[in-house]
Structure 1
Amino acid sequence: MPAIATSRIAILATHGFEQSELEVPLNDLRAKGATVDIVSLEAGEIKGWDEKDWGAAVPVDRTLAEANVADYDALVLPGGQINPDVLRVEKAAIDFIRAFDGAGKPIAAICHAPWLLIEAGLLKGRRATSYSSIRTDMINAGAVWEDRAVVLDGMIATSRNPGDLDAFVATIVEMVEQGREKRQAAE
């Protein structure tokens, strides 16, 4: 059985996430058998942004205070302009991201979500991509920015935009498989 089918993945988001950047990974990963939790700052629902206006709400499975990195195999960070901008000033969110990195677990960020990786100090010297409007932010944070659909550097994957979602999800699956193999080899 593929590791993705028995994995548990956290999607960290809050109000203003780009609708497709949360829903496509959520639905595709669940379709592959993964257990996927929406983790957010507060219980209840969070509302997406769908291109030019507010989108649909999704239920929160766990608050950030309830979520434990040890329970997850990977972390997905959807973009949108609002979502990562709100999360990057929340110490608990940045600590959660750093803990995934510290545990050597996969982190996947799309569009504007690499702002969170910048805030967590995880991009210096790493190859990465993002939505074009934050390219300078990425370079100023020390990333080696590449204009590619998805860039994988170690256990951190970054992707440009919603047009790259199929490649983004495929990279998440690949990272979960590789991460499981590495952890099993270390045991």
Structure 2
Amino acid sequence: MKVLLLCLKAFETMEFSVFIDIMGWARDEEKVNIKVVTCGFNKTVISTFGVPIIMDTLMDDVDVNDYDALAIPGGFQEYGFREEAFDIKTLELIRKFNSQNKPIASICVAAFALAKSGILNGKRATTYHLLNGARQKELALYEGTIVINEPIVIDGNIITSYNPQTASGVAFKLLEILSNTEKVDSIKRMMGFIE
């Protein structure tokens, strides 16, 4: 199995790294046949706080048929996250994964890319909930999006979450969809999330 980890300009490194770590633990410790492939508009993508990350592949080279799931970390609008999040290439990629009913996992404000693509129409979803819920109110303006103020919301093949703290939970939910609960619980124990 392959997870495409879409790293948009100004993504948050913590929200990115959970997918690498959790899927890596699952592969090495539980023998889950899973690989995470990083993807960006450019070979090097600069995160919110200025950390450059080298991508495995470029957006223009992605064939959705080669992947089993899509994961998108959020990022800071102030650093330009929405420039690539709202780019037509991003929106088309999201629509292609959704049209094949493949899991799409987003963290925090990455939900805006999903909403902009139209795939949240008629779906329950969440996004950043602090600052008096300003981002959730904004997300609710997208046609048909049903905003739920919960840490992680799953509706069909779509996972959304409401702040960086939920990042590991989203990655574990994606792993559970791609493997099973027993393997997730085993990895959670090994990583110290549960006793």
Aligned to 2:5: 11
Answer 1 or 2: which has greater strand percent.
1
**What's the TM-score once normalised by structure 2's chain length?**
0.80
Aligned to 1:48: 47
Q: Return the alpha-carbon distance in structure 1 between the equivalents of residues 93 and 54 of structure 2.
A: 20
**What's the TM-score once normalised by structure 1's chain length?**
0.83
CA RMSD of aligned residues (A): 1.6
Matched length: 167
CA offset at residue 175 of structure 1?
A: 2.4
Q: What amino acid is the match of 1:92?
A: K
Aligned to 1:27: 21
- Tell whether the 8 Å contact from 2:9 to 2:81 is kept in structure 1 after alignment: no
Q: Return the alpha-carbon distance in structure 2 between the equivalents of residues 145 and 79 of structure 1.
A: 17
Q: Deviations over 1:135-162 (max 9, x none)?
A: 1122111221111111100000001111
Q: Return the alpha-carbon distance in structure 2 between the equivalents of residues 117 and 130 of structure 1.
A: 11
Structure 1 gaps, min length 5: 1-6, 179-187
- Tell whether the 8 Å contact from 2:85 to 2:110 is kept in structure 1 after alignment: no
Q: Give % identity.
A: 27
- Tell whether the 8 Å contact from 1:84 to 1:116 is kept in structure 2 after alignment: no
Q: Return the alpha-carbon distance in structure 2 between the equivalents of residues 130 and 99 of structure 1.
A: 22
User: Which sits farther off after the overlay, 24-33 or 65-74?
Assistant: 24-33
SS of structure 2 residue aligned to 1:113? helix
Alignment of 1:17-96 (within 5 A): 17-33=11-27, 34-43=34-43, 45-49=44-48, 54-82=49-77, 84-96=81-93
**Change in CA separation of 1:113 and 1:174 when aligned onto 2, cut-off 3 Å:** same
User: Which sits farther off after the overlay, 106-115 or 31-40?
Assistant: 31-40
Say which of 131, 139, 151 aligns to 2:153. Answer: 151
Runs of 4 or more, structure 1, over 4 Å off, are: none
SS of structure 2 residue aligned to 1:152? strand
- Tell whether the 8 Å contact from 1:155 to 1:175 is kept in structure 2 after alignment: no
Q: Deviations over 1:42-62 (max 9, x none)?
A: 22x21212xxxx242221010
**Change in CA separation of 1:98 and 1:168 when aligned onto 2, cut-off 3 Å:** same
SS of structure 1 residue aligned to 2:154? strand
Structure 2 gaps, min length 5: 28-33, 181-195
- Tell whether the 8 Å contact from 1:19 to 1:55 is kept in structure 2 after alignment: no
